[in-house]
Structure 1
Amino acid sequence: METALTKLTGVRHPIVQTGMGWVAGPRLVTATARAGALGILASATMTVDELRTAIREVKSRTDAPFGVNLRADAGDAHDRVRLIVDEGVRVASFALAPSRELIAELKDAGVIVIPSVGARRHAEKVAAWGADAVIVQGGEGGGHTGHVATTVLLPQVVDAVGIPVIAAGGFHDGRGLVAALAYGAAGIAMGTRFLLTSDSTVPDAVKARYLAATVRDVMVTRAVDGLPHRMLRTDLVTSLENAGRTRTLARAVRHAAAFRKLSGLTWRQLLHDGLSMKHGKDLTWSQVLLAANTPMLLRASMVEGRTDLGVMASGQVAGVIDDLPSCAELVERVMTEAKRVLTELPR
Structure 2
Amino acid sequence: METALTRLVGVEHPIVQTGMGWVAGPRLVSATANAGALGILASATMGVDQLRRAVREVASRTDAPFGVNLRADAGDARERVRIIIDEGVRVASFALAPSRELITELRDAGVVVIPSIGARRHAEKVAAWGADAVIVQGGEGGGHTGDVATTVLLPQVVDAVDIPVIAAGGFHDGRGLAAALAYGAAGIAMGTRFLLTSDSTVPAAVKAKYLAATVKDVTVTTAVDGLPHRMLRTEFVNSLERAGRTRALVHAVRRASGFRKLSGLSWAAMIRDGLAMKHGKDLSWSQALLAANTPMLLRASMVEGRTDLGVMASGQVAGLIEDLPSCAELVERVMSDAMGVLRGLVPPSRPFP
Instruction: Give the TM interval when normalised to the shorter protein.
Output: over 0.9
Q: Deviations over 1:280-324 (max 9, x none)?
A: 333333321221341111000000011111110000000000000
- Contact kept, 8 Å, 1:65 with 1:90, in 2: the verdict is yes
Indicate the larger mover: 268-277 or 23-32: 268-277
Quote the residue 2:232 is aligned against. Answer: 232
| Contact 2:274–2:292 (Cα < 8 Å) also in 1 | no
User: Which SS does the other structure have where 1:198 is aligned?
Assistant: coil
Question: What residue identity is the alignment partner of 2:215?
Answer: V
The answer for the alignment partner of 1:314 in structure 2 is 314
1:291 match: secondary structure: helix
Contact 2:19–2:41 (Cα < 8 Å) also in 1: yes
What does residue 202 of structure 1 align with?
A: 202
Query: 2:220 aligns to what SS in structure 1?
Result: strand
Measured in 1, the distance between the counterparts of 2:306 and 2:22 equals: 14
Gapped regions of structure 2 (runs ≥ 5): 348-353
| 1:332 Cα deviation from its structure 2 partner | 0.1
Find out whether 1:282 has 2:282 as its counterpart. Answer: yes
- 1:14-33 → structure 2 map (5 Å cutoff): 14-33=14-33
How far apart are the structure 2 equivalents of 1:63 and 1:284?
46
The 5 A counterparts of 1:149-298 are 149-298=149-298
2:119 counterpart letter in structure 1: A
Equivalents in 2 of 1:115, 1:143: separation in Å? 16
| TM-score, normalization by structure 1 | 0.99
- Contact 1:253/1:292 (CA < 8 Å) preserved in 2? no
Alignment of 1:106-121 (within 5 A): 106-121=106-121
Task: Write the distance in 2 (CA, Å) between the matches of 1:248 and 1:274.
Answer: 15
Moved over 3 A (4+): none
Are 2:218 and 2:316, in contact at CA under 8 Å, matched by a contact in 1?
Answer: yes
For the Cα contact (< 8 Å) 2:203–2:305, is it kept in 1?
Answer: yes
The C-alpha deviation readout for 1:113-132, integer Å capped at 9, x for no partner, is 00001111110110011000
Structure 1 segment 76-87 matched on structure 2, within 5 A: 76-87=76-87
Describe the SS at the equivalent of 2:166: strand
Name the Cα RMSD after superposition: 0.9
- 1:339 paired with 2:342, answer no
Q: Which amino acid aligns with 2:147?
A: H
Distance 1:102 1:10 in 2: 22
Aligned twin of 1:72:
72
Q: Where does residue 141 of structure 1 map in the other structure?
A: 141
Please list every run of 5 or more consecutive structure 1 residues that lacks an aligned counterpart in the other structure: none
**Letter of the 1:96 counterpart:** L
Counterpart amino acid of residue 38 in structure 1: L
Partners of 1:312 and 1:66 in 2: how far apart? Answer: 25
User: Identity of aligned pairs, percent?
Assistant: 84
Which amino acid is the alignment partner of residue 132 of structure 1? Answer: D
Q: Which residue of 2 aligns with 1:90?
A: 90
Instruction: Give me the whole-angstrom Cα distance separating, in 1, the residues matched to 2:319 and 2:137.
Output: 18
**CA separation in 1, counterparts of 2:292 and 2:93?**
22
